[in-house]
């Protein structure tokens, strides 16, 4: 490196006018970015703001149409990942790039072998990894197939992979999405110690709280443009949110006290075993009363999805009983999803692409999915296309779905508007019980606000709402009571007034803190 007077030399990485189009989509518009050596640099932006594209360009996964990338002050043409790795760039992708049936050791060695034979590479990698994992507290079992490890450990392997390749610049794409709060905290410690050793860290996220907690500098992206560069110490969550969305956003959900009445949804001793023999729901008991929101927290994959599937009739009850509005559903009285809808249960599925919508359908067709048998949509022989379109157009206006075009293909709406379409469909049927899964996954901040308000409105209208979400903040701000699931079981229950990240985080790892135990005892007495 040259003299310190040279400003560029202190920059680990600098982007000048990076521009990228995918057909008609202008994903990155002439982006400039400077990342100082030895800092943690956050990049925030809504879904589709172009953060991931930008990072993929730095990592050589895509090539920019225009612009230069400077690494340590040198213009570097990164045409594939190999060059990025050789230039000291490592990346931890949002969806881990691991071979699931291989061990940590094999995953680390892959692509960084020392010769044609594996033995020597493996031995060398084992030594280096043992040293690295001690140095940065990144301990992982080296000889267990990755698929048997938790996501937290898998992420460590990804970081080790980058370090093993000599990464001086580490890019993390949405690193905390699947972690418990404790795992997140540990990750931030690791990043801090990496920074101490001189590694530059770039962290992409949409979680403002984490930006505030972990970074030195922040850059904000909006619709493919870089709109601001600020020092973390000189900004606030509110300011960042405003920069991201381009207008003022209310981060806190305003809601009054809940006024719960009789239980509308009662689940007792519900168990469900997957076809491969894994017990996904293990003796679940819960109830949701009219006029309250019950939140289900937990790291994804601990039975929440199966619970929603069983309650909505997609999966059949195997053991135990579900009581909805007085109707009993059990093994000898199974109900199909349409029968469940008929007893006034609405279901906003977790994955709108897989279950909520048919992407190739027009909006008005997607809008009647599941309700297509209703008399108002059907004539004697044919369905009433005009009525359907008219109805959809009305609801789109009411729910502010943009663009307001009932004939547009579902796939061409943004994530937030697709979700609004699903929510409008389910809520417009005026269900008594509403099952909500990940209502704001992949939805931009502006739309999150309105979706949250709609859910509160349902509660205030005396509906029973069951909310499943992996976003703790969402659960804490919406729910009146919070249940935590782990390994198919309900670990415990906390009133929203008491819940905080620490408590929920411990419960998500199957540890019930004493204060919660005391509360539960009190409730029983």
Partner 1 sequence: MEAFNSLILILDATLRVATPLIFAALAGMFSERTGIVNIALEGKILASAFAGAAAAYVTNSPWMGLLAGVMVSVVFAWMHAFATVTHNGDHVVSGMAINILAAGLTAALGNFWFRQGGNTPNLVDPFNDIDARFTPITFPFADQIADVPIIGGIYSELLSGHFLLVYIALLAVPVCWFVMFRTRFGLRMRAVGENPSAVDTAGISVTGMRYLSLTICGVLAGLAGVYLSVAVTAQFLPNMSAGKGYMALAALIFGKWHPRGALLACLMFGVLQAIADRSQGASLGGFSIPVQAIEALPYILTVILLAGFIGKSIPPKAIGKPYVKERE
Q: Which residues bind partner 1 (CB under 8 A)?
A: 22, 27, 48, 52-53, 59, 61-62, 80-82, 84-85, 91, 93, 97-102, 106-107, 109-113, 115-119, 121
Residue 326's CB: how many other CB atoms inside 10 A? 8
Beta carbon of residue 476, minimum distance to partner 1 (angstroms, whole number): 29
Q: Which is nearer to partner 1, 48 or 439 (CB)?
A: 48
Q: State the minimum distance, in angstroms, from the CB of residue 85 to partner 1.
A: 5
Closer residue to partner 1, CB minimum distance, 107 or 469 = 107
The dihedrals phi and psi of 370, each to the nearest 5 degrees, come to 90, -20
* Residue 34, strand partner residues: 14
Q: Are 439 and 423 in contact (CB under 8 A)?
A: yes
Nearer to partner 1 by Cβ, of 119 and 332: the residue is 119
55: its two tokens: 């990072």
In the complex, minimum distance from the CB of residue 130 to partner 1, in angstroms, rounded to a whole number: 20
Torsion (CA) 463, 430, 308, 321 in degrees, nearest 10: 70
Spatial separation of the C-alpha atoms in residues 167 and 29, rounded to whole Å: 27
* Residue 93 or 289 with smaller CB distance to partner 1: 93
- What is the smallest separation between the CB atom of 113 and partner 1, expressed in angstroms? 4
Per the structure block, which two tokens stand in for 397?
Answer: 């206006």
d(CA 179, CA 187): 9
C-alpha–C-alpha distance, residues 425 and 396, integer Å: 10
To partner 1, the closest distance from the beta carbon of 154 in angstroms equals: 12
Pull the structure tokens for residue 197.
């050793």
Q: Are 254 and 267 in contact (CB under 8 A)?
A: no
Shortest distance in whole angstroms from residue 60 CB to partner 1: 8
Q: Which is nearer to partner 1, 152 or 415 (CB)?
A: 415
Closer residue to partner 1, CB minimum distance, 65 or 283: 65
**84 vs 475, beta carbon nearer partner 1:** 84
- CB of residue 5 to partner 1, shortest distance in Å: 35
Distance CA 23, CA 10 (A): 36
- Angstrom distance (rounded) from CA 262 to CA 256: 19
The residue (of 58 and 491) whose beta carbon lies closer to partner 1 is: 58
Least distance in angstroms from the C-beta of 413 to partner 1: 16
Which contacts of 315-318 are long-range, i.e. CB under 8 A and separated by 24 or more positions?
315/272, 317/270, 317/272, 318/271, 318/272, 318/273
CB 404, min distance to partner 1, A: 25
Burial class (CB in 10 A: 0-12, 13-18, 19+), 521: exposed
CB of 66 vs partner 1, minimal distance in Å: 18
Alpha-carbon gap, residue 245 to 292, rounded angstroms: 30
Range 110-115, long-range pairs (CB < 8 A, 24+ positions): 111/85, 112/164, 112/165
* Between 79 and 336, CB nearer to partner 1: 79
Q: How far is the CB of 237 from partner 1 (least distance, A)?
A: 25
82 versus 390: smaller Cβ distance to partner 1: 82
Distance CA 525, CA 518 (A): 11
Residue 230 vs residues 213, 238, 449: alpha-carbon distances, Å? 15, 13, 25
Nearer to partner 1, 101 or 412 (CB): 101
Closest of 492, 520, 469, 490 to residue 271, by C-alpha: 490
DSSP 8-state symbol, 253? P
Our CB check for partner 1 shows the closer of 69 and 286 to be 69
Question: What's the token pair of residue 508?
Answer: 């998500």
Give the nearer residue to partner 1 in terms of CB position, either 164 or 272: 164
Least separation in angstroms between residue 323's CB and partner 1 is 38
Whether residue 117 contacts residue 171, with contact meaning beta carbons closer than 8 Å, is answered with no
Angle at 471 between CA 501 and CA 203, to 5 degrees: 90
Query: What number of CA atoms fall less than 13 Å from residue 65's CA on the CB side?
Result: 13
Minimum CB separation of residue 56 from partner 1 in Å reads 8
Q: Is the peptide bond before 36 cis (omega within 30 degrees of 0)?
A: no
- Other CB atoms within a 10 A radius of the CB of residue 519 amount to 16
């Amino acid at each position: 490196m040259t003299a310190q007077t040279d400003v560029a030399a202190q920059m680990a990485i600098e982007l000048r006018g990076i521009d990228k189009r995918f057909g008609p989509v202008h994903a990155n518009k002439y982006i400039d970015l400077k990342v100082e050596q030895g800092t943690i640099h956050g990049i925030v932006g809504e879904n589709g703001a172009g953060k991931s594209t930008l990072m993929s360009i730095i990592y050589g996964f895509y090539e920019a149409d225009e612009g230069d990338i400077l690494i340590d002050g040198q213009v570097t043409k990164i045409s594939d990942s190999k060059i990025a790795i050789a230039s000291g760039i490592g990346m931890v992708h949002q969806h881990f790039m691991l071979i699931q049936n291989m061990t940590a050791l094999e995953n680390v060695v892959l692509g960084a072998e020392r010769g044609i034979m594996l033995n020597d590479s493996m031995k060398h990698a084992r030594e280096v990894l043992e040293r690295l994992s001690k140095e940065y507290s990144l301990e992982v079992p080296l000889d267990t197939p990755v698929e048997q490890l938790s996501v937290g450990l898998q992420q460590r392997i990804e970081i080790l992979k980058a370090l093993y390749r000599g990464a001086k610049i580490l890019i993390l794409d949405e690193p905390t999405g699947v972690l418990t709060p404790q795992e997140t905290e540990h990750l931030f410690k690791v990043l801090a110690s990496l920074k101490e050793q001189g590694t530059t860290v770039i962290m992409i996220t949409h979680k403002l709280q984490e930006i505030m907690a972990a970074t030195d500098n922040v850059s904000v992206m909006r619709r493919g443009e870089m709109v601001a560069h600020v020092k973390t110490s000189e900004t606030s969550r509110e300011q960042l949110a405003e920069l991201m969305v381009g207008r003022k956003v209310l981060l806190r959900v305003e809601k009054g006290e809940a006024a719960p009445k009789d239980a509308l949804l009662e689940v007792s001793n519900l168990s469900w075993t997957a076809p491969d023999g894994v017990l996904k729901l293990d003796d679940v008991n819960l109830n949701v009363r009219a006029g309250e929101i019950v939140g289900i927290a937990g790291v994804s994959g601990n039975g929440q999805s199966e619970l929603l599937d069983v309650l909505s009739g997609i999966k059949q009850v195997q053991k135990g009983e579900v009581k909805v509005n007085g109707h009993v559903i059990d093994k000898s009285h199974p109900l199909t999803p349409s029968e469940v809808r008929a007893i006034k249960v609405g279901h906003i599925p977790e994955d709108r692409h897989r279950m909520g919508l048919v992407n190739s359908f027009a909006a008005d067709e997607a809008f009647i999915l599941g309700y297509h048998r209703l008399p108002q949509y059907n004539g004697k022989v044919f369905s009433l296309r005009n009525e359907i379109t008219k109805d959809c157009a009305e609801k789109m206006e009411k729910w502010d779905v943009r663009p307001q075009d009932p004939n547009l293909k579902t796939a061409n709406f943004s994530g937030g508007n697709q979700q609004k379409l699903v929510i409008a469909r389910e809520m417009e049927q005026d269900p008594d019980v509403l099952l909500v899964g990940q209502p704001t996954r992949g939805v931009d901040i502006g739309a999150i606000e309105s979706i949250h308000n709609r859910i509160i409105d349902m509660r205030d209208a005396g509906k029973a709402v069951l909310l499943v979400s992996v976003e703790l903040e969402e659960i804490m701000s919406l729910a009146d009571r919070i249940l935590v699931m782990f390994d198919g079981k309900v670990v415990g229950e906390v009133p929203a007034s008491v819940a905080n990240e620490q408590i929920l985080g411990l419960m998500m790892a199957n540890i019930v803190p004493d204060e919660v135990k005391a509360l539960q005892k009190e409730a029983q007495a």
